[in-house]
Amino acid sequence: MLPYDYIKAFAANLRPKMSWDGAQPVAEWQAKAREKLFLLLGLDLMVRTEPKFEIEYDRNLPESEYGIGVREIRFSFESEPGYRALCHMLLPLGLSSEDKLPAVICLQGHSKGMHISLGRTRFAGESVTGDRDFCVRAVREGFAAIALEQRDFGECGGNENGPQCLDESLVNLLCGRTTIGERVWDVMRLYDILSLEFADYVDSDAIYVLGNSGGGTCSVYAGAIDTRLAGAVPSCAVSTFAGSIGAMRHCACNYIPGILKYFDMSDLLILVAPRPLVVVSGRDDDIFPLDGARRMVEAASRAYEALGAPDNIAHVIGDGGHRFYADGAWAALRRMTGR
């Protein structure tokens, strides 16, 4: 047996020792599990700083771009000393000071940048097919939509060839940090910005996080860690650890040292409970297989049932591969939230 075959079999047989067992009180388990996950992600090593919030531009877009009147604000802030997170916000035009909107933080996967969430292409060969124009759909649904450039993607470390995660992820591991932890940290700090700098427009009790693939991965971890988030919509990012990132080569940014020793992905989903959780899968997704996704959602559903919120979890399955399925995802989120 080759080493890679051996360790894949080892992963498939490993039983996480902190997984929710169905008998523990969910809230009691969540407190301990969230504390452990916080440390595994290296969030204890993230460095808080003054955000030094700046707006680069604030403009109204022609109605022809999105089919509705939209205001676009590009802004940035420091999430750690010397590192600036970049964002675009889309707002429906005509808001009054009384109109506070629900908001969705939109996270691209391994693409060339957040401009895809805005329905824009910048490089040869790019496309927004697969419903990847997250912000466009969100603002049409009546939400404030915020595209956050994830670390190592687009303008924050990527280039015209795509994301550049490997080197940064490896140095993070040397330091006891993780790239996923950094991305979750940026979402947490963005929540702070939205609740402070955009309080006139955004309902801080209704800020959701949504993403596909690598963006879906960050979405589920952010929802698990930060209980201020109203809910999460992770797409094509949920399956068993052993059957997805433990069964084939994935980007280095997906890996968290030792996590399978303690948790499977179902436990991350349970940490979102009882808040709204829409898990999106592609029937033919071969890198986050549907069978494993079903098992993880079924396990998490038992925790939602135990918390008296069985209707706050949904599994949307699209007839295709590794992409977002906007119609099903938005229908499920609207059923849960009544928005």
Write out pLDDT tens, residues 249-275.
Answer: 888 899 999 999 999 999 999 999 999
% of the chain exceeding 70 in pLDDT: 99
- Taking the mean position of all CA atoms in its chain, how far away is CA 130? 17
CA distances from residue 130 to 134, 280, 290 in whole angstroms, order as listed = 10, 13, 18
pLDDT confidence of residue 339: 79
| Phi-psi label, residue 60: left if phi above 0, alpha if psi -120 to 50, beta otherwise | beta
More confident residue, 330 or 65: 330
Please name each of the domains of the chain with its CATH number: 3-337 (3.40.50.1820)
Which residues lie below 8 Å from residue 188, measured CB to CB, with a gap of 6+?
Answer: 222, 225, 226
DSSP label at residue 100: P
Query: Does the pLDDT at position 219 exceed 70?
Result: yes
Count Cβ atoms below 10 Å from residue 15 Cβ, excluding itself. 8
Give the Cα separation of 85 and 148 in Å (integer): 7
With the C-alpha atoms ordered 278, 269, 301, 294, is the resulting torsion angle positive or negative? positive
Exposed / middle / buried, residue 21 (Cβ in 10 Å: 0-12, 13-18, 19+) = exposed
Instruction: Using alpha carbons only, give the angle 291, 295, 297 rounded to the nearest 5 degrees.
Output: 115
pLDDT in tens, 268-320: 999 999 999 999 999 999 999 999 999 999 999 999 999 999 999 999 999 99
Mean pLDDT in residue range 46-71: 93
pLDDT confidence of residue 163: 74
Rounded to a whole number of angstroms, the CA Rg of the chain reads 19
pLDDT confidence of residue 275: 99
Backbone angles phi, psi at 215, to 5 degrees: -75, -35
Confidence band (pLDDT; 50, 70, 90) for 97?
low
Sheet order of strands, 83-92 included: 54-61, 70-80, 83-92, 144-148, 101-107, 202-212, 231-235, 277-282, 313-318
pLDDT confidence of residue 62: 86
Q: In terms of DSSP H, where are the helices of the chain?
A: 3-13, 26-40, 63-66, 134-140, 166-175, 179-197, 214-225, 259-262, 265-270, 290-306, 326-337
